[in-house]
Amino acid sequence: MIEDFLGNPITIASLIISVASIGFGIYVAVTNGRLLLLGLKSLRRNLLRTLLTAAATAVLVLMVTLIWTILFGLEQMTRERARDLKVIVTERWAVPSQLPMTHAEYLRPGSPAQLPELRGMYGPDDFMLWSFYGGTMDPAKRDPANLVFFFAMDPESIIPMMDDMEGLDPELIRRMRSTPQGCLIGRDKLAAIGNKQVGDRFKLSSINYKDLDLEFEVVGILPEGRWSQSAVMNLDYFNRAFDEYARARRVPHPLSDRRLNLIWIRVKDADQFDRLGGAIENSSMFSARPVKVERASAIIGSFLESYSTLIWAMKWLVVPAILAVMALVTANAISISVRERRTEMAVMKVLGFRPSQVFQLVLGEALLVGGGSGFGAALATFVLFNGLWGGIPFRLGFIPIFRIPSEAALWGLAIGAATAFLGSVVPSWSARSVKVSEVFSKVA
């Protein structure tokens, strides 16, 4: 958690900006409480302008929060960790990886066929197999709405190996084990395929394994958020379907020896990863169907390469443009305000306010509006999106949803304050330089 927090430069920068903004507010309140009250009164006096500026800041902060959440999520997935590395073994040269099921036995802990070099390196809780089974409920009218994609896997691997599954009720695993055709499905997927409930049964016509049409029983619901559109089925049930096919037709299914897609292994550290990779990639057991061993983060990074323009545009075009629009909106509002209040500022100077205090007053007003509305907008975005949809429902390849992190509130405060500062520093300086004689000569 701390590692994630400190590893993200946006969060670090947000923390610094937020601390500086709040520090400035406290400094003004402590050294000159009157100035703070004056600022608040001034904001209230032109309530419409304050509200319009705050609303503009809020909607733009909402957008930046959404975009940064997606970028933050992608960054988290592709970040290389020092410990507890997840490693994926896949077909060496082609995508999608399609391996024979026998490959799993050379790597499975406790299997008599496990490569001797790997024995003791990782345990049963550090090992997971994934086969993908996709099927439609309506073969006549295939539609994403009636398609279900399953991760066919050993139920025992779900909690220890899958991300964000730590809180899954172990009772669901027991139910999956006791019901071969039992499956766990995300709430959104259940709703999409006709509001299915726990206990309901349905049949799928396979779209990737011709003639392997299977019946399923929903035994539980996957956690909200990342998995709300996913589904998990028993690997044994999947394998048995191939056996039955071969028995019934006296020939193996055409894809029988290409039905294992990914093998996941968790290793302690980079050193163990190197040893594991060397042992597997150099093993003669895999010479007929070569495999490669990679960190999960590297594989995800390669998949995301297709989205590189989109990610680049979000990072370097959309976000800067939004920040610039925010700064312009604030600059405009504060400039107008300063122009309208030149007499007031001249009077303040006559009353003994120093130029630096006038500067602080105008800057403080902008920071209060920007920082306050930014913080509020980010907090509302966090509550609204995570509460309603479990995150931002923007599908990017195999990632269906992005959960907004709690530090987003900090981003909002920082974005609002920083753009308010940029937009108001010139008008504030102009307010500081108001010449009493000039203003009063014009008034006269």
Partner 1 sequence: MGPFRLYWLKWIAAYPVTSAFLLIFALILLAALLPLLVSLLPIRKVPLTYNLRNLQVRWKTTLVTALAFTLVTALLTFMLAFVRGMDALTEESGHPGNVLVLSDGATDEAFSNLPKFRVELLPRDLQKLIPHYEDGERYLAAQEVYVVATYQVPLPRAGGPTRRFVQMRGLDDLQVAAAVHELELAQGSWPSASGVRAITVTGEGGAPRQDTAPEVVLGESIARTLGIDAGKEALVPGDTVRIGPRRWFVVGILKAGVSTFGSEVWARDTFIQEYFGRTNSYSSYVVRTADARTARLAAELLKEFRSERNLQATPERVYYAKLSQTNRQFSVAAYVVAIIMAIGGVLGVMNTMFAAISQRTKDVGVLRLMGYRRWQILCSFQAESLLMALLGGALGCALGSLCHGMTATSIVSGGAGGGKSVVLRLIVDFGVLRTCMTFALLMGALGGILPSWRAMRLRPLESLK
DSSP code string of 345-406:
HHHHHHTT--HHHHHHHHHHHHHHHHHHHHHHHHHHHHHHHHHHHSSB---BTTB--BPPPT
Encoded one letter per residue, x for contact with partner 1 by CB under 8 A and - for no contact, window 361-400 reads: ---------------------------------xx-x---
Q: Which is nearer to partner 1, 239 or 332 (CB)?
A: 332
217 SS3 class = strand
User: Which CA distances in Å does 247 have to 11, 250, 251, 258?
Assistant: 58, 5, 7, 18
Residue 329 sits in the site that holds partner 1 (CB under 8 A): yes
Looking only at residues 397 through 416 of this chain, which bind partner 1 when binding is defined by CB under 8 A? 397
Q: Give the number of residues in contact with partner 1, rule: CB under 8 A.
A: 66
Q: Considering only 36-44, 90-98, 112-120, 410-418, which stretch makes contact with partner 1 by CB under 8 A?
A: 90-98
Q: Which is nearer to partner 1, 40 or 51 (CB)?
A: 51
The type of residue at 171 is E
- Would you give the DSSP letter of residue 149? E
- Least distance between partner 1 and beta carbon 132 (Å): 8
Q: Which is nearer to partner 1, 12 or 321 (CB)?
A: 321
Structural contact between residues 149 and 136, judged by C-beta atoms closer than 8 angstroms: no
DSSP code string of 409-423:
HHHHHHHHHHHHHHH
82 SS3 class = coil
Find the helix or strand (DSSP H, E) in which 27 lies.
helix 9-31
Identify the residue among 48, 82, 140, 443 touching partner 1 (CB under 8 A): 48
Residue 147 sits in the site that holds partner 1 (CB under 8 A): yes
Q: Considering only 92-100, 121-129, 163-171, 214-222, which stretch makes contact with partner 1 by CB under 8 A?
A: 92-100
Q: Where are the alpha helices (DSSP H) in 265-307?
A: 270-281, 296-304
Of 127, 129, 133, the closest CA to residue 102 belongs to 129
Q: Considering only 60-68, 150-158, 159-167, 409-417, which stretch makes contact with partner 1 by CB under 8 A?
A: 60-68
Q: Which is nearer to partner 1, 20 or 314 (CB)?
A: 314
- Least distance between partner 1 and beta carbon 194 (Å): 17
166 SS3 class = coil
- Would you give the DSSP letter of residue 142? -
Of 102, 64, 367, the closest CA to residue 258 belongs to 102
Residue 206 sits in the site that holds partner 1 (CB under 8 A): yes
Residue 59 sits in the site that holds partner 1 (CB under 8 A): yes
Identify the residue among 56, 184, 233, 368 touching partner 1 (CB under 8 A): 56
- For tokens 């923007």, what's the residue? 394
Residue 42 sits in the site that holds partner 1 (CB under 8 A): no
Q: Which is nearer to partner 1, 117 or 294 (CB)?
A: 294
Looking only at residues 248 through 307 of this chain, which bind partner 1 when binding is defined by CB under 8 A? 254-255, 258, 289-290, 292, 298, 301-303, 305-307
Of 330, 327, 308, 329, the closest CA to residue 319 belongs to 327
Binding residues (CB under 8 A) for partner 1: these are 48-49, 52-53, 55-57, 59-60, 62-63, 67, 91-96, 98, 132, 134, 142, 144, 147, 149, 205-210, 254-255, 258, 289-290, 292, 298, 301-303, 305-310, 313, 317-318, 321-322, 324-326, 328-329, 331-333, 335-336, 340, 394-395, 397
